[in-house]
Amino acid sequence: GAGVSQSPSNKVTEKGKDVELRCDPISGHTALYWYRQSLGQGLEFLIYFQGNSAPDKSGLPSDRFSAERTGGSVSTLTIQRTQQEDSAVYLCASSPSPAYTDTQYFGPGTRLTVL
């Protein structure tokens, strides 16, 4: 079946602009995660959605970052007033449930470059 999809695959923006990144999880997966990976860094957790529960926003680095998940499916990560340090690959993952043993399947990522 179809995997996690993300769009756009690449985004170049100017400092101070807002950007929206989209994630479409695997059909039927209730848990959705956003991570980012900077050059030479490990994967950094950003936010987690599970069903209709309140999201876990504990990983968002600043109030310029926000995310929503509509209808328990598609998610959008928004970065306002982008800064150069926001340049990274933003990865979305989904899992069938929030169970600790469930595998998180990653999408292809969105490479964000802030000039």
Binding site for another protein (CB under 8 A): 33, 35, 41-43, 45, 48, 50, 56, 59, 91, 98, 100-101, 103-109
Cβ-based nearer residue to another protein, 83 or 103: 103
Output the smallest distance, CB 81 to another protein, in A. Answer: 25
Output the smallest distance, CB 17 to another protein, in A. Answer: 25
Parallel, antiparallel, or unpaired for β 43-50 and 5-7?
Answer: unpaired
Q: How far apart are CA 92 and CA 108, in angstroms?
A: 8
